[in-house]
Amino acid sequence: MRVRFWGTRGSIPVALTSADIRDKVAEALYRAQGRSFASVGEAYDYAVAHLDFSLTHTFGGHSPCVEIENGGDEYFVCDMGSGARPFGAHVLARQSGRPASVNVFMSHVHWDHIMGFPFFGPAYAAGTRIRIHGCHDTLEHAFRLQQAPPCFPVEFSQLAAQIEFVKLAPGRSHEVSGVQVTPAPQMHSGDSYGYRFEHGGKSFVYTTDSEHKLENRAQTDRFVRFFHGADVVVFDAMYSLADAISVKADWGHSSNIIGVELCQMARVKHLVLFHHEPAYDDATIESVLRETRRFEELTRGARALQISAAYDGLELDV
């Protein structure tokens, strides 16, 4: 399996401002003072070798949308945040006019997770088949409501694709086009669901908008079983540990530290920090990643846990 991240922010999309770009350029120039480059290629190589990720890249600003490629003809994607727009462009480009089949798995129907669907190009292409899977009774209502007047100029009924809503039972494994998919209930306002995908001997867990309280032993054990042995876990790490257990307790999100602890207990191979706080700039997210890796080193048992921070455009082989 290959995982592609089209949107990684939580709550609301954000964008780099002109001031952000200026600050990155100024810092890069300062660090390169005294050096000269004979070509753009030389400058590029220097940036790659010597400058921080937060200077040469951005973690991005789209809200959640994560694709899982399993080698088959159908598309699998978690959530339809604003990242669904570039994901849709990717689907249309790859299909080159051929009808696509897209399987969508919804964690929940808060706005930041459905707002990209009205801009999802394949929904406007006749012959496209879209199956939207989820555990909420309000799944179809939420998608139709956001395109109802006066909120959007194109009503849901005007979309050209064949769209089907599929209700999944939490805690049960479902076979979807050769992939085993198991949803699990999570603690979040209005309820949310994580998903475990298994295919070809590999396992991938998508768990966002979930608050984990490690003092609740029954809940912790349930998620350790859900995560157990996963090759990759994409984890809601929106808050610092201090925020998660104090001022933002019961807000429905978790921290990087809790993500490490759960994944260590579950013997996960790779933890990916996700649903980044929209107020965090690139440097702050990179700092969180460094702190998380350091915490993992200090608490490491017999095996290391690989840790990454998701960014728009990241691809991982599972």
pLDDT computed for residue 248 by the predictor? 60
What b/e sequence results for 165-182 when a residue is b if at least 16 CB atoms lie within 10 Å of its CB, and e otherwise? beebeeeeeeebeebebb
pLDDT computed for residue 254 by the predictor? 85
274, 8 Cβ separation under 8 angstroms? yes
Q: What are the pLDDT digits (tens) for 215-262?
A: 788 889 999 999 999 999 999 998 876 665 555 666 567 889 999 999
What is the Cα–Cα distance from 92 to 96, expressed in whole angstroms?
Answer: 6
pLDDT computed for residue 214 by the predictor? 76
pLDDT computed for residue 247 by the predictor? 59
50, 27 Cβ separation under 8 angstroms? no
Q: What are the pLDDT digits (tens) for 179-227?
A: 999 999 998 888 899 999 999 999 999 999 998 887 788 889 999 999 9
Q: Which two tokens stand for residue 254?
A: 């978790």
Measured over the CA atoms of residue 112, residue 114, residue 118 and residue 122, the dihedral's sign is positive
Closest Cα partner for 236 from 110, 133, 143? 110
User: Domain map of the chain by residue range?
Assistant: 2-15+58-311, 18-56
pLDDT computed for residue 187 by the predictor? 85
pLDDT computed for residue 252 by the predictor? 64
| Residue numbers of the chain with a pLDDT score lower than 50 | none
Third-level CATH fold of 2-15+58-311: Metallo-beta-lactamase; Chain A (3.60.15)
pLDDT computed for residue 282 by the predictor? 95
User: Which segments within 190-298 are labelled E, that is strand?
Assistant: 192-199, 202-207, 232-236, 270-274
Q: 48 burial class (0-12, 13-18, 19+ CB within 10 angstroms)?
A: exposed
What is the Cα–Cα distance from 113 to 121, expressed in whole angstroms?
Answer: 17
The values of phi and psi at residue 313, to 5°, are 105, -10
